[in-house]
Amino acid sequence: MSTILQSNQMPPQAPAGELCSELLLAIFSLTANMHDVSEGRIPAVDTLRRISQVCSQWRAFMLDSPQLWRRVINLSRLANSPEWLKEVIRRTNGFSLFVKVHHLQHGSSTRGDRFARSQLERYWSKVEYLDLNTNSTRLERTDDAASWCHLLTRPSNLRQLRFNSPVNAQDLFPAMLPGLFPNLETIDLSESPKSFIGNVGRNSEWNLPSVDFPSLKRIKVQMYWPMSIPTVLEILQNVTPKRGCVLHFLVSLSHDFQVDVDPQLFTNVLPKYLQCASPTICLPSYNKAVVTLTQRVIDLQIQASDQGSSRDDDFRFNIDCEMFNLDDIIPTVVSCFRSFQFDRVEKLSLVVHILQPESAIGALQDIDRVFPSITHLKVDGSTLDNIRIFQDSVDYVVFSMLRTITALRCTAQSIKMLLESRTAKGASVDSVAFSIRPDQMADIAVLHGFSGLTLNLLTAEDQVGLVVKVAWCVSMSNVDPSFIHSNSSQIWWQEPLIHFSQQLWI
């Protein structure tokens, strides 16, 4: 017969009752996490409250653990419970605060916005981490936007700032005055496609001062409005971050406004931050790169190998424009990383679609110099053709260390022409393996005679980023193309037939 506890007391024999304070703190710290995916449904502050009501032992422990309560100040949840907010702040016992504000719903969104701002103003000196997303908030008056900007001109002990807002990035960047954020380690500012137009937080005639951020190790700025770009570049030009600081600079322009940016700003900012980030992005783990140069997109990424796609810890410089041509600034941007060499980068995803042939050749020449250790290359058909044209124009082997090429949307004829160009410069066909799609096999007969060429057939999954599961080594000189049969997962050759497993990055 089970025993019914009449008091709020954990039985002595319960394993949880035997845990030491250090282990309990470590366990409960896992729940004090406002970044968890469940935060929108079950805020961490409510989880801590329920834990504190399990038993008298845990309650005493929780009330004596301000380091837990300081990490769960979710003003979106506490906006409708002002008394509970006061109690949570009391339980922090003067510790610095981690504050999150997302999806405000305190009456109207404008009222919620003002409530959050009033609480931040009240506890501003104690805020260490701020994650603020007001994109769902209707900032109905310009002075609401100006109030947020004014808050960011107050001295602060902030170490991490993340601000996703309808206010222009140029107005939010807290580098307008020196000495405001001496402890800042990371900054993430993202304006909304519905941002306010115009300066609401500063006088556009102010001279932007030089500012030191001795602890700043990551900067992310995302912009959707052309008028933000020059000011943010000027600020970045005048900021001195910590050695090893990684820049994540994103511009996505869908509005029909002309970008009026002094090209000198690119040459002042991009090389500076490449040099600054070099202790980080030259580590062995950063061995992947993405370079895209088209009329609409300029993108440079240096990625860590354990990341499947672009993340905030990448070095990234991206300009994505739907409405106008970027051809004129491509040579300027490419020239910015001309003097750098990333010897540890082995994997490169490359797109070069530039109308002027001389610009394409110049860009590829710089890319070949910047990434001398590329062993795995992913390209499309047009880029493959541009590489072949570049290869024909020089007397050395381009990407001389290549072992695998993943070529999407290209023809066997393009592969043949590139191989001929490389062999003419002394490269061995045996050293390069091609990965292609099944629908590229139609004219494979043109590759007959390239002894030792390796072809890898990409499945549908492989084409969206997964590794190649199986590769087939084919001696093309001994194969009659009429015997080739293929489906989505394998190729059968009359003879010889050699199967082997191989993992490829694509």
Neighbours of 21 (CB within 10 A): 10
Q: Are 184 and 158 in contact (CB under 8 A)?
A: yes
Tokens in use for 368? Answer: 């070949």
Domains of the chain, residue spans? 243-374, 375-472
* Adjacent-strand bridge partners of 433: 404, 454
User: What's the average model confidence in pLDDT over 409-431?
Assistant: 87
479 or 260, higher pLDDT: 260
Residue 32 has pLDDT above 80, yes or no: yes
Which residue type is seen at 200?
Answer: V
Q: Confidence band (pLDDT; 50, 70, 90) for 272?
A: very high
Q: Residue 74's pLDDT band (boundaries 50, 70, 90)?
A: very high
CA 454 – CA 472 distance, rounded (Å): 7
Q: For residue 106, name the pLDDT band (cuts at 50, 70, 90).
A: very low
Give 174-210 pLDDT, tens digit per residue. 665 667 888 999 999 888 776 655 555 454 455 667 8
Q: How many helices (H) and strands (E) does the chain have?
A: 15, 21
In three-state secondary structure terms, 90 is helix
| Residue 38 structure tokens | 């469940």
Handedness of CA 462, 252, 369, 284 (dihedral sign): negative
Rg (CA), the chain: 28
- Among 262-266, 331-335, 460-464, the minimum mean pLDDT is found in 460-464
Contact of 354 with 334, CB cutoff 8 Å: no
Least confident window among 50-64, 109-123, 130-144, 221-235: 130-144
- One-letter amino acid at 207 equals N
Closest by CA to 450, choosing from 470, 428, 471, is: 428
Of 321, 312, 159, whose CA–CA distance to 248 is shortest?
A: 312
Candidate from 13-17, 69-73, 313-317, 394-398 with smallest mean pLDDT: 13-17
Query: Half-sphere exposure (CA, 13 Å, Cβ side) for 391?
Result: 23
CA atoms within 13 A of residue 435's CA, in its CB half-sphere: 28
Contact status, residue 415 vs residue 384, Cβ threshold 8 Å: yes
Q: Which amino acid is at 380?
A: D
pLDDT band per the 50, 70, 90 thresholds, residue 229: confident
- Residues ≥6 apart with Cβ < 8 Å to 77: 43, 45, 46
Is 454 a residue whose pLDDT tops 50? Answer: yes
Q: CA–CA separation, 144 vs 112, rounded Å?
A: 12
What is the per-residue DSSP string for 371-437? -TT--EEEEEHHHHHHHHHHHHHSSS-TTTT--EEEEES--HHHHHHHHHHHHHTT--GGG-EEEE-
CA distance 293 to 122: 47
State how far the Cα of 349 lies from the Cα of 363, in Å rounded to an integer.
15
- Is-contact 362 334, C-beta < 8 A? yes
Contact 338, 366 (CB under 8 A): yes
pLDDT-derived band at 388, boundaries 50, 70, 90: very high
255 pLDDT band, cuts 50/70/90, is low
Residue 290: pLDDT band (50, 70, 90) is very high
The total number of residues shown for the chain amounts to 506
pLDDT recorded at residue 259: 61
Interaxial angle between packed helices 109-123 and 142-151, expressed in degrees from 0 to 180 and rounded to the nearest 10: 20
pLDDT tens digits for range 117-146: 889 999 999 999 999 887 655 554 556 677
Query: What would the mean pLDDT of 79-101 be, rounded to a whole number?
Result: 92
What's the CA gap between 450 and 471, in Å, rounded?
A: 17
CA angle centred on 271, ends 270 and 274, rounded to 5°: 85
Pairing of strands 297-303, 288-293: antiparallel
pLDDT band at 17 (very low <50, low <70, confident <90, very high): low
CA–CA distances in Å: residue 483 to residues 480, 491, 493, 497: 6, 10, 6, 12
Tell me how far CA of residue 449 lies from CA of 180, 388, 420, 423, 452, in angstroms: 68, 19, 11, 13, 9
State residue 167's pLDDT score: 76
pLDDT at 478: 42
Gap between the terminal Cα atoms of the chain: 62
What token pair was written down for 229? 């770009």
Q: What are phi and psi of 97, to 5 degrees?
A: -115, 145
Crossing angle of helices 381-393 and 357-370, rounded to 10°: 80
**CA nearest neighbour of 157 among 129, 177, 133:** 129
Query: Which of 215, 212, 208, 200 has its CA nearest to residue 158?
Result: 215
Round the average pLDDT of the chain to a whole number and report it. Answer: 79
